[in-house]
Chains A and B, each alone.
Chain A
Amino acid sequence: MSIQQKTFGLVAMTVLGVAMSAPAFAQAGRDHVYVVGSSTVYPFATVVAERFGRSSEFKTPKIESTGSGGGLKLFCDGVGVDHPDVANSSRAIKQSELRACAKNGVTDIVEVKIGYDGIVFAHAINSPTMELSRADIFLALAKEVPGDSEGELIPNPYTTWADVNPGLPATRIEVLGPPPTSGTRDAFVELGMEGGCKTVAWIKALKSTDSDRYKSICHTIREDGVFVEAGENDNLIVQKLQANPNAFGIFGYSFLDQNMEKVKGSPIDGTEPTFDAIASGEYPVSRPLFFYAKKAHVDVIPGLRGYLREFTSERAWGEEGYLSDRGLIPMPDAERSQVAADVRNLTPLSVASQ
């Protein structure tokens, strides 16, 4: 009996406690900035958020890592406290996404380019360095490669790097990379694969005549086990590279930067993936990173203006700012001050310019 009474007493108390906090359900206002989006921008945005939270009277922004596409979808769902204020993206917003945004009343969007990220093609530190070109990467990884005659495509027959390019060693092609849902994969395919693909004259010609076919040739990665999807966890790829000296891995520059004594980036088209080479644009496989903010939320959500300001301050994204310590490659000075001015004035993205 006593057990029973005690238990029910306890349960009743907790239920009451939960019920009493019920009025807080109605999300009348939000006291923190809400950010969603790319897992590539996440490591940078979180550092800014933390610094901002610690040094201001506002709460620390909440950052969800949803991927670029998922983040922009949530972002475009509407204006109001239930919807995110900022969407991080490892690519520029698409026309279709802008239309979706506009349909839900999200019109004044401020685009902020924050810097660059290099995508590296890396291997274990002890393996010999392989000088690759984008054409080599395309031939090694595409599902279908050009055959002997013009316009002919054959299923990718290459099994060793020497098959692709006689100047390379005869080791088996083995590449670990991110899955199709990842922004890193998108960028790698667009910059690395397509860059190599364009070196074939007749495929390049297709771009203007049959762009769908051009895309499918250049963007499709082989599925016969040579390219292994290693998931979104880049730490895992680094570990696997250490275990397998012949394998290559594809990931963002920040992971190379943190694991310099374990893995090494291959030079692509003769350029090593170094901080300076990516910043100057010399390294071919690098992409800009962005975030998008809702103008309508500024000055409504406490701290949003401050967060934007902190992100675009010199101490954050400058040449020697704390984001460069984390592997973000800063933009040139002139571009930085231009974007910072746009953010201060909240210049919205003009839909036509996209």
Chain B
Amino acid sequence: MSKEMTTRERVEAGLGRRRRKETMFRTVGVLATGVGIMFLGVFFATLLAKGSSAFVQTFVQLDVVLDAETIAPGGELDLAYADFEGLVRSSLRKEFPGVSGRTERRELYRLVSTGASYQLRDMVADDPTLIGTTQSLWVPAASNVDMLLKGNIDAAVDESLRPLSDAQIEWIQALQDSGRVETRFNLALFTNGDSRDPELAGIKGAMMGSFYMLLVTIALSFPIGVAAAIYLEEFAPRNRWSDLIEVNINNLAAVPSIVFGLLGLAVFINYLGLPRSAPLVGGLVLTLLTLPVIIIASRAAIKAVPPSIREAALGLGASQMQVVFHHVLPLAMPGMLTGAIIGMSRALGESAPLLMIGMVAFIVDVPGGFTDPATALPVQIYLWADSPERAFAERTSAAIIVLLGFLLLMNLAAVIIRRRMERKW
């Protein structure tokens, strides 16, 4: 009796200390989570603050006379040589008749993007009957004008310290006063390929490049990965060789991605002679990268199928193969798909291996196939971050937001698939 009391007393004596320890541990845990969330919050906040302005773009309204003499001298229209830039310039001169002198005029012309003349050309190409008429159209403003109106260029500092002169700022003010300046959604960001003019640069080329690459990657790595996982888990004999393979697959998942890029350069480009900068080669390299991830996830999914299901099927006379394909595989599929999607989102964010196979390049044309030169989203971010024009800073952040959006969508898909299809035993 007395012994029981002492145990109880001892427990009660230590209770305070144990509770304190637990509280402390919980506090540390909360702090750790809090710091993590805080960093994430700072990251997203700066990204959104910097990048959100790139989703809108300043446009200027111009009345352009599509003068037949300038673009189709002698009545013959040759789009490649027609001087559409001259039309844009003359409409600017008409807007500001007081501007004279070569330097001043050059400054005036710099208010409008070079994209204006391409826009005119496309308009005339679509409808040649427009020649001779006067069209009022909205053209993108030059990136410096856009930066000024977004507050990224300070008009208050001395003229020599900013890329826009006092006269240019005056003209912009005049245009604003007459309602000829407007901020619109920056559609070009999603419909154009890369450009060295920030106001014309878009991520469509990079998105298509990433798309083709991921298509190759999923088409190869999913069937190969699942087949390897099924064989290793269900059919392979347990011996030294299978152990060795297992260890190597786990190691492969931890190999730095640049190594796969080097391998891709040596094997796919130098040995097999596939084209450089092609999404096909990028996809092959990313396949190597995602295979271990998919194999490991698929094996875990197969392992999670309860043995009772296998045994029941075997007991009813199913062959080993029937057991696997009729029972285990459908039940393991949600886990495998999740693994595949996680692998794909890793592949989407990869840029290091693409460096080696020539996908870090300036490519304007949007790729239309697996062998066209292309870049990928993370590479586009890297290239823009390194560009001197300041308007690329916000576009870099915008591209990161888009990339994060895709990653979020993919991970969401993985979660939904798991929720929808998962079976509980």
List residues of A whose CB falls within 8 A of some B CB: 1, 3-4, 7-8, 11, 14-15, 17-18, 21, 24-27, 32, 34, 39, 42-43, 45-47, 49-51, 53-57, 59-60, 62-65, 82, 125, 232-235, 254-255, 257-261, 320, 322, 325-327
Contact A18 B154 (CB under 8 A): no
Contact A50 B333 (CB under 8 A): no
Shortest beta-carbon contacts, A-B, top 7: A14-B219, A60-B364, A261-B161, A63-B362, A64-B361, A258-B388, A46-B362
Contact B160 A260 (CB under 8 A): yes
Chain B residues within 8 Å of chain A by Cβ, number: 53
A4-B329, A50-B196, A57-B80 given; A233·B218 CB < 8 A: no
Residue in B277, B365, B370, B371 whose beta carbon sits within 8 Å of that of A59 in the complex: B365
A8 to B226, CA, bound (A): 11
Residue in A1, A56, A63, A325 whose beta carbon sits within 8 Å of that of B80 in the complex: A56
Q: What's the nearest-Cβ distance from chain B to residue A195, in Å?
A: 26
User: Could you name 5 residue pairs across A and B whose Cβ atoms are closer than 8 Å?
Assistant: A82-B273, A257-B388, A258-B389, A260-B161, A327-B388
Contact B326 A1 (CB under 8 A): yes
Q: Is B140 an interface residue (CB 8 A)?
A: no
Q: Which residues of A contact B326 (CB under 8 A)?
A: 1
A24 to B222, CA, bound (A): 24
A134 to B275, CA, bound (A): 47
Contact A27 B275 (CB under 8 A): yes
Residue in B197, B219, B277 whose beta carbon sits within 8 Å of that of A64 in the complex: B277
Contact A235 B80 (CB under 8 A): no
A112 to B196, CA, bound (A): 22
Q: Which residues of B contact A3 (CB under 8 A)?
A: 330, 333, 421
Residue in B154, B220, B277, B370 whose beta carbon sits within 8 Å of that of A62 in the complex: B277
Chain B minimum-CB-distance residue to A82: B273
Q: Which residues of A contact B154 (CB under 8 A)?
A: 261
A11 to B389, CA, bound (A): 43
Consensus secondary structure, chain B interface: loop
Contact A260 B162 (CB under 8 A): yes
Taken residue by residue from 276 to 309, chain B's Cβ proximity to chain A (1 for < 8 Å, 0 otherwise) reads as 1100100000000000000000000000000000
Chain A minimum-CB-distance residue to B106: A320
Chain A minimum-CB-distance residue to B327: A1
- The interface centre, meaning the residue of A34, A125, A232 with most chain B CB atoms within 10 A of its CB, is A34
Taken residue by residue from 196 to 233, chain B's Cβ proximity to chain A (1 for < 8 Å, 0 otherwise) reads as 11000000000000000001101110110000000000
List residues of B whose CB falls within 8 A of some A CB: 80, 106, 110, 114, 118, 153-154, 157, 160-163, 195-197, 215-216, 218-220, 222-223, 273-277, 280, 325-326, 329-330, 333, 337, 358, 360-365, 369-371, 373, 385-390, 393, 421
A328 to B135, CA, bound (A): 36
Residue in A43, A49, A235, A255 whose beta carbon sits within 8 Å of that of B385 in the complex: A235
A14 to B214, CA, bound (A): 11
Contact B274 A47 (CB under 8 A): no
A1-B330, A233-B386, A254-B388 given; A49·B161 CB < 8 A: no
Contact B273 A46 (CB under 8 A): no
Q: Which residues of A contact B275 (CB under 8 A)?
A: 25, 27, 82
A48 to B217, CA, bound (A): 34
A21 to B362, CA, bound (A): 24
Residue in A4, A21, A63 whose beta carbon sits within 8 Å of that of B333 in the complex: A4
Chain B minimum-CB-distance residue to A39: B386
Q: What's the nearest-Cβ distance from chain B to residue A62, in Å?
A: 5
Q: Which residues of A contact B337 (CB under 8 A)?
A: 7
Chain A minimum-CB-distance residue to B153: A261
